[in-house]
Structure 1
């Protein structure tokens, strides 16, 4: 079911690459915020009457309280729109120039068989300049792959890596477990603008990255061999869908990422979802999402670094929840990492301009969550120091 309403643009709050944020006057006289993607529609201006998808807001779901623009009341606006230009995130990414130059010649469809399906130049496709590369037998050659369940883990991990190894090249693989447009992520835009990310690969039905890929395997390989990443971070875009059941959540994709990274001879490192602040009992300590992934879904081995400095009772509970000592789950390793203080994490994030929150909570409200992410980043940096990768992009 889709719930529609009409609204009139009052103000353009912000305009970013591929997206506008709008204030709308709704038909009932209320004011509301809306997101308008400009990769497939013209930019909106005050006075324009727009058709809005209001479903998520009316259902009280976690979309940030915004509606999404579906089209102009005057449909002829679309017919007057010039050909789409490349919509990759702002930032210098020379490895993708050859793909940008191809414009809209791609034949791979994302959001397939929907009214919003769009063609992309997928990095592996015959029209891609990297097609020949992907016809070879490629692997990750031990590259650390930091795997996260929540999008907020991305900026926290990048800030930590930058503090420890600023020379490391980091690429982000954005899966389709959350928001599908890369343009929706303020963190991707900020990290790319700062030059802290080498580039972004959007895979599955996620779209709008510097590179597009059909699946997680190709995306990981593109991050390594096209973008030249020393460390790959793989996580969904903003948002996560869940049902309160054991397997009914999109965080299950982290098991797929573990299997893909290991199967491609990379080194999967899980950023564990640990919290002491979530009011939901199933997410207290090690989230039930993480427990299910590690004990029932991941078929390959992964490192799951755990934060140090916890009280003995908390440490014992965490290890018990994750089955650290259970014989059935010995495929994973759980290295204990040195304690990272709240002040150190705050210093790591001091130069980052966008607030980092997890489920609406900032650092001081959920320190253990951020420490767990940073410990995983520490572990990945340690792997890099022990086995530095001298190779840049092979494409």
Structure 2
């Protein structure tokens, strides 16, 4: 459950849109990094007494190794102002009221109430949040002017503000906007489902392409069905039913120490081979050598339902090295797991060919 601690903010380390990274001192335990979302708890300042949730910190989680600021009990933020009846993180202590793009009081409600189609928009689906910059690198290598919107699902982090990757991609002009769907929140637009998120990306934000992936913090149990990435298959279905062009990016690795993720990950084989009932394009990167042959062989069964598309990866490594953010997946960088990032960039390159 929750590990509660009381502490004091000692300094502000850095900030990005929606988040403040601090240092906090916990009596008897020492200092730690703490993360606050000002929209939820107010803006912390040095000297503030804070209530902290140190669960992820104690577990040593890679993407979530912060103490989370739950409250500034001596300086509560003002009551929220403005419209919005959509409640996310529902019935948790931090449930928040937001304006949903598809709710009745939004100026976009009438348009989205009638919208039923995304007009062939390519929708790249990925298992991991770390795939996002690589997809965009592949897209921009062929279509640098394409307007890309990220749909963050709720399989990982719920606050979109947690992602420094999104903030930096936006600052660099690689990403136009973020839509948070389901229980996730903090995007430029809030949507109830992936379906309305896709419709909003197309009709409200004018996206040429959408990328759908969970936020940071993938959850997996080492079982066939017990991982948050099964939602990638459902995203394929959503894109197809709305008249989009689903592009199912493969999770590939020649460096992961876990055999189930070597070659083509079992996550991709389950999500696309079992969960996705609608056909998608599956870009298969033309990687060299025996590993490339392995990837092609392991992806082949997906061809029973989907269209396998061989994609030349020439030039994609250079495109990846130009990314404005550090590429990292499961703690491995570009040089440690190049095949992983090339496979996802290949999906972006293929999506560009559909524009």
TM-score category of the 2 structures, normalised to the smaller one: over 0.9
Q: 1:192 aligns with which of 143, 151, 170?
A: 170
Checking the alignment, whether the CA contact within 8 Å between 1:342 and 1:364 is kept in structure 2 is no
What residue is the counterpart of 1:158 in the other structure? Answer: 136
What residue is the counterpart of 1:339 in the other structure? Answer: 313
SS at match of 1:28: coil
Q: 1:271 aligns with which of 221, 233, 249?
A: 249
Q: Distance in 2 between matches of 1:381 and 1:59?
A: 40
Q: Distance in 1 between matches of 2:85 and 2:56?
A: 31
Q: Distance in 1 between matches of 2:2 and 2:351?
A: 43
Report Cα offsets for 1:291-340 as digits up to 9, x if no partner.
111221111111110111422x3344223323x157xx511111111133
How has the CA–CA distance of structure 1 residues 237 and 325 changed in structure 2, closer, same or farther, with 3 Å as cutoff? closer
Report Cα offsets for 1:12-37 as digits up to 9, x if no partner.
00122221101111111421101011
Unpaired stretches in structure 2, ≥5 consecutive residues:
none
Checking the alignment, whether the CA contact within 8 Å between 1:179 and 1:239 is kept in structure 2 is yes
What residue is the counterpart of 1:178 in the other structure? Answer: 156
Correspondence 1:236 to 2:207: no
What residue is the counterpart of 2:47 in the other structure? Answer: 47
What residue is the counterpart of 1:144 in the other structure? Answer: 122
Checking the alignment, whether the CA contact within 8 Å between 2:115 and 2:199 is kept in structure 1 is no
Q: Distance in 1 between matches of 2:169 and 2:317?
A: 22
How has the CA–CA distance of structure 1 residues 120 and 73 changed in structure 2, closer, same or farther, with 3 Å as cutoff? closer
How has the CA–CA distance of structure 1 residues 348 and 340 changed in structure 2, closer, same or farther, with 3 Å as cutoff? farther
Correspondence 1:377 to 2:340: no
How has the CA–CA distance of structure 1 residues 154 and 325 changed in structure 2, closer, same or farther, with 3 Å as cutoff? closer
Relative to structure 2, which stretch is displaced further, 211-220 or 333-342? 333-342
Relative to structure 2, which stretch is displaced further, 152-161 or 368-377? 152-161
Q: Distance in 2 between matches of 1:2 and 1:367?
A: 37
Q: Distance in 2 between matches of 1:216 and 1:133?
A: 17
Report Cα offsets for 1:189-242 as digits up to 9, x if no partner.
112222322211100011011000000100011001100011111111111011
Unpaired stretches in structure 1, ≥5 consecutive residues:
85-102, 385-395
What residue is the counterpart of 1:319 in the other structure? Answer: 296
TM (normalized to structure 1)? Answer: 0.86
Q: Distance in 1 between matches of 2:165 and 2:327?
A: 9
How has the CA–CA distance of structure 1 residues 343 and 318 changed in structure 2, closer, same or farther, with 3 Å as cutoff? closer
What residue is the counterpart of 1:391 in the other structure? Answer: none
What residue is the counterpart of 2:196 in the other structure? Answer: 218
Superposed displacement of residue 151, structure 1? 0.7
Superposed displacement of residue 369, structure 1? 0.6
Correspondence 1:348 to 2:341: no
- The structure that is strand-richer by fraction is 2
Q: 2:330 aligns with which of 329, 334, 359?
A: 359
Q: Distance in 2 between matches of 1:204 and 1:346?
A: 30
How has the CA–CA distance of structure 1 residues 16 and 47 changed in structure 2, closer, same or farther, with 3 Å as cutoff? same
Q: Distance in 2 between matches of 1:360 and 1:333?
A: 31
Relative to structure 2, which stretch is displaced further, 17-26 or 189-198? 189-198
Dislocated runs of 4+, deviation >6 Å: none
SS at match of 2:210: strand
RMSD: 1.6
Superposed displacement of residue 341, structure 1? 5.0
